Structure formats: structure tokens, C-alpha cells
Amino acid sequence: MGRNIYELALQAQSASNSGGLIRSLASEVLPAVWQEAEAQGGGTDFVNRHPVVFMFLYQLMFLNGKEPLELSDRWAECNRVCQERASAP
């Protein structure tokens, strides 16, 4: 079994290397999120709106000098979900 993607999302919030974030998103996160989507009968919209995907994309925006304040509520909700699921057995 791969690493906990919710834990990876939390760790990504302190990342400083966009290339590393993109590699992790592509090789670890998206395959796991697609597995969740398929298990729950979801598709592209499920993946696009997944809390872990959001957290990675938000950090990429931050590294590009953009931190959209209008997304702060969404960030807080995704962070809460990731905190809960990172510590789940």
C-alpha cells in the first residue's frame, strides 16, 4: 500500500519545490484519488474537487506568488479533512 495521501497533502503545505510537488501529485496522489473515485462511483469531478488535490494545487499557487484569499475557507475545510484522514487507521 502507498503512502497516506492525506498526510502527503499536509506535508505539501510546507513544500518549496514545485517540481517535487508536481511529481508527487502525478505519481502518488492522482492514482490514489482515482482509486477512491472509482470505489465511490465518482469521476473527473470527484478527482478535481478532492481535498488532497486542492491542497497540492493551492501550494503550487502559493509557490507562484498567488495566495487567493477567496479560497481560504476551502483551504481550511480541506486541511481539516486531511488532518482527520491522515490520522485514521
* Residues 30-70 pLDDT 10s: 999 999 999 999 999 999 999 999 999 999 999 999 877 88
Residue 67 contacts residue 25 (beta carbons within 8 Å): no
Judge whether 51 and 81 are in contact, CB under 8 Å.
yes
Provide CB contacts within 8 A for 47, sequence distance 6+.
Answer: 30, 33, 34, 37, 53
Q: Is the pLDDT of residue 6 over 70?
A: yes
Instruction: Report in angstroms the alpha-carbon separations of 8 from 20, 26, 41, 69, 70.
Output: 12, 13, 24, 23, 24
Confidence of residue 88 (pLDDT cuts 50, 70, 90): confident
pLDDT at position 2 over 90 = no
Give the cell for residue 39.
Answer: 470505489
Q: Does 21 or 89 have the greater pLDDT score? A: 21
